[in-house]
Structure 1
Amino acid sequence: MKNNIPQKLSKPYSNQSNKTILFNKTKENWDEKELLMNELKEVYWHEKELLIAIPMLISNATTFELVEMLTIHIIYTRNHIEKLEKRIPSIIKLNQSIIK
């Protein structure tokens, strides 16, 4: 079977300089890093909201098992927030600026 792909398509970067390729890759990496940071910040804020909501759920719980599971969940949520704050210092700065 003969390869019918034109030569231009089989070598996409053949007529571009290495600088352009490196810039594109760096820009893509930067965009991915920014996207990841935004996602982590979103997770962080949702975890902080859970710290407010879970105690309300505990106060309205009707069974001991539900209270127990929500208590365990709040412990895991606190641990997760602490890990995020340790590993991502910009989240702590953002949190402190909003509190003030």
Structure 2
Amino acid sequence: MRPDVAKEYVKAALVAQKRYQRTYPVSKAKITDEKSFVKAAEPILFDVYGREEITEQKPYTVGRADGYWVMWGHLWADHGGVFYIIMEERTGKVIYLTHSL
């Protein structure tokens, strides 16, 4: 993912988090790179949406901007949607989590 795209997603998620004040899970895994981010995010996604739903959306699109990691799934059909998750690198806190329709 291009850094400018990741940055726009992070900016929008931070605005939404301030506006809607949702509480999301925190991963205890240390996030240092793309691989560790995916490893930290998948259990959270599996708990919310189910392992099969998430793994069917591979390959994931992943990016990083301003200390946050962004990931979304791949849509293989003409219907359905994909997950979106954004996590803070330093704390492992999820700041945005949703599934499009």
Give yes or no for TM over 0.5.
Answer: no
- Structure with greater contact order relative to length (CA < 8 Å, sep ≥ 6): 2
TM-score by length of 1: 0.23
Quick check: which one's strand share is greater? 2
Q: TM-score, normalised by structure 2?
A: 0.23
| Greater share of residues in helix | 1
